[in-house]
C-alpha cells in the first residue's frame, strides 16, 4: 500500500514511536465519521443511533 509506506516514512522522519500501523478501519457496528454517521453533537448522534 502506498499509504502505508508514506505514513511510515512520515512517522519515522518525525520521531513518532508506534507498534503497528492500521491503515483500514477495524470491524465495528457503527462508524461516526464523515461518511457513516456524521457527528455534529452528542444528542443528534445518539438519536441517529437510536439510543
| Ranges of each domain in the chain | 25-51
pTM for this entry? 0.49
CA distance 2 to 43: 38
Residue 10: the pLDDT is 96
Cell 516514512: give the residue: 9
List per-residue pLDDT tens for the chain, 51 residues long. 689 999 999 999 999 999 999 888 778 887 777 677 778 899 998 898 888
Amino acid at each position: 500500500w502506498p499509504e502505508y509506506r508514506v505514513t511510515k516514512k512520515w512517522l519515522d522522519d518525525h520521531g513518532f514511536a508506534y507498534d503497528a500501523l492500521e491503515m483500514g478501519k477495524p470491524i465495528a457496528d457503527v462508524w461516526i465519521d464523515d461518511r457513516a454517521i456524521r457527528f455534529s453533537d452528542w444528542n443528534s448522534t445518539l438519536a441517529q443511533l437510536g439510543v
